[in-house]
Amino acid sequence: MEYDSTSNTLIINVHDYQDFSASRYSIQYDNILANSYTYLDLFLYIGILIIGIVCTGLLIFHFSVILFSRIYLYRFTFPQLTSAKCSPDTVPSVDTSKLPLPGITIIKPLTGVDEAVITNLRSFFYLDYPRYEILFCVSDPLDPVIPHVEALIKEHSHSVDACLLFSDENESFVNPKINNMNPAYLKASYDYVLISDVGIYMYPNTLSDMVITMLSEENVGLVHQIPFLFPHQCSQQVLSQKQTSNAPTAWVHQLVYFGCWHAKMYMGAAMLGINCTTGMSCLMRKRVLDSAGGLAHFGQYLAEDFFFSKYFYDNGWKVRVASQPAWQHAIVPSIKQFQDRMLRWYQLRLAMVPVASLLELFSGCFINGIVHAFCYAYLFPYLIDPVAFFFFHVLIWFMMDFIMLHQIHPPGIKIAVSKVSFFAMWALYESTSVFTQFRALFTRDIHWRGKRYRLEFGGRAHRLLDSSKTQDPEALVEEHSLTSFESAEEPMTHSPTKSAPVTSISIPANEQNVIHTREPCTVQ
């Protein structure tokens, strides 16, 4: 670049112009790049802020579920236990003398027998309910439970209408549980049907509680129970076992699952009106099922309970949770066996509701805590220590789980588990559940009772047969509802204060005293 004084002009050569242009474009590029980094930082900041808010919102959601459970559970009836005796005749019942309660058909699918099963079956003959029948269903004519059922039917022949039915082996239902129950459904006398698994124990007022829940609102078509555990010391008494103050370790592991994580998700879904029905104890209007084609219509699905509820929702009916849980009473499995069951249940949920199941990965305490701590440490680097925040998160989560356990636990009964034992099993569950969920993501095969099935999205499953077998490889089978378990608690020390029982319920005129004609119920 030169200056000509004679002509008073500035002379710029080509090379100088190119250098100037390059410098100008370089400055412009740097400005654009800087602006791009600014936008990326902004988007990243907003994304992390949203994730942090979601993590905090999950804690708030847990707290709201605790409040909902405190108000909702045991609002009609409660199983009051005494230190002297836990047998059915000592449990106070809801006053049903002034209630126009409809007749109920109880369908009990059976397989196998042990001392807990016999106790469960016997409890159904002591229900404080004016009109009901029990239809026991067996698929194997050589099942060892048959003599015990026949003895109970004979013992209570003058007080309870009950009979034993056998399923048709030629039925082509995919779901073996539906295949087992269908003959009983076709013989049902009443317009309300209760499906109750073999591992469920009932107090005398439990059925009344479910019916009151059904009739306390208009257009309620299905009532289900949140799964929980039968009191451990009561199990020891009814099974004539040696009394112990604390429950076994394997039982505590189940208590953590059913009393904490599962209880929060179950009651949270019920609070939001999301389908969360489990078929282990489920009361339904038969005429609604008849409009779908009866139980036979649902025999094509793996999780028939999910599709029961879905059908009621789709047809404008309400689905409600009873105020009493489903009291699971069975021989306590090992921790490994229970984790295998959790794997199957998560595989089922992944097939039925894949998006919600994937989000379930972040519903555990430790994963959620790590994400939560990272988000707020990034957003407020000079205010928050991520390690301290994580441990604070774990403490809050544990306290909320422990409070949730006390909401679902029978009122006034001390839990027969030490806090140290409970915390140890809680930490074990929280640290291993994520690995169980990841296992389910990478396998579609379900192992059930020595057999293997290939799970498909939508609820169906193909049975995988050995090459040595001659059976049809296209045969379809299904796994049914959750298996039952045992529980542990301490004797009641005082009477809980709960809502007074309902004393007036209106039943639609077309549903009062509805009885379907069928052949006499006799033992086959």
Q: How confident is the model at residue 414 (pLDDT cuts 50, 70, 90)?
A: confident
AA identity, residue 520: P
Token pair of 396, please? 């809050």
Q: How confident is the model at residue 22 (pLDDT cuts 50, 70, 90)?
A: low
pLDDT at 187: 93
More confident residue, 405 or 241: 405
Q: Which of 67-71, 222-226, 374-378, 493-497 is least confident?
A: 493-497
Nearest to 121 by CA among 92, 96, 94, 155: 155
pLDDT at 285: 95
- The pLDDT of residue 110 is above 50: yes
pLDDT mean over 484-488: 31
CA distance 412 to 402: 15
pLDDT in tens, 156-193: 989 999 999 998 766 667 778 888 899 999 999 999 99
pLDDT at 347: 78
What global pTM score does this model have? 0.78
Nearest to 296 by CA among 190, 166, 173, 461: 173
More confident residue, 259 or 480: 259
Whole-number Cα distances in Å, 25 to 1, 37, 64, 92, 161 = 20, 18, 58, 87, 93
Residue 23 C-beta-side C-alpha neighbours within 13 Å:
6
pLDDT mean over 331-339: 77
AA identity, residue 328: Q
More confident residue, 298 or 497: 298
**Mean predicted lDDT score pLDDT of the chain:** 77
pLDDT mean over 349-372: 82
- The pLDDT of residue 51 is above 50: yes
More confident residue, 470 or 181: 181
pLDDT in tens, 293-323: 999 888 877 778 888 999 999 999 999 999 9
Share of the chain above pLDDT 90, in %: 39
Q: How confident is the model at residue 501 (pLDDT cuts 50, 70, 90)?
A: very low
pLDDT mean over 92-117: 78
- The pLDDT of residue 481 is above 60: no
- The pLDDT of residue 437 is above 90: no
Q: How confident is the model at residue 260 (pLDDT cuts 50, 70, 90)?
A: very high
- Backbone conformation region of residue 111, classed left if phi is above 0, alpha if psi is from -120 to 50, else beta: beta
Which residues on neighbouring strands pair with residue 451, listed in sequence order? 448
Q: What is the set of active-site residues?
A: 305
